[in-house]
Amino acid sequence: DAKTTQPPSMDCAEGRAANLPCNHSTISGNEYVYWYRQIHSQGPQYIIHGLKNNETNEMASLIITEDRKSSTLILPHATLRDTAVYYCIVRVANTGNQFYFGTGTSLTVIP
């Protein structure tokens, strides 16, 4: 699986959009971009995933660049409960392969 690079930490004001970047310059054509988050002392929570088109669900939006070498997770209106470590992972989907987690981005939402 391709390696990802994320900033170690970010702050965001409550109610504002949180934009979390991820670089995955060695991504392969059949690898998806997954985003998970982990709130302190809990298991990872699935957020969203995509291949090449932008994706949106009730939690977030995922913007993938045309060359697929980077992506951005957008939390449109951050709340205090969004404070967590966010992991960007690239992986071939539906293969049952394990996830290899990087160091992630620690997002702190500030009141």
User: Cα–Cα distance between 55 and 39 in angstroms, integer?
Assistant: 23
User: Cα–Cα distance between 6 and 86 in angstroms, integer?
Assistant: 9
2 burial type by CB count under 10 A (0-12 exposed, 13-18 middle, 19+ buried): middle
Nearer to another protein (CB atom), residue 59 or residue 74: 59
Q: Is 30 a binder of another protein (CB under 8 A)?
A: no
User: Cα–Cα distance between 46 and 39 in angstroms, integer?
Assistant: 12
For residue 32, the minimal CB distance to another protein (Å) is 11
Q: Is 25 a binder of another protein (CB under 8 A)?
A: no
Q: Is 103 a binder of another protein (CB under 8 A)?
A: yes
Residue with tokens 């670089």: 23
Q: Is 111 a binder of another protein (CB under 8 A)?
A: no
Nearer to another protein (CB atom), residue 53 or residue 95: 95
90 burial type by CB count under 10 A (0-12 exposed, 13-18 middle, 19+ buried): buried
Of the candidate residues 59, 72, 93, 108, the single one contacting another protein (CB under 8 A): 93
Nearer to another protein (CB atom), residue 13 or residue 39: 39
Provide the binding-site residues for another protein, judged by CB under 8 A: 36, 38, 41-46, 87, 93-96, 98-104
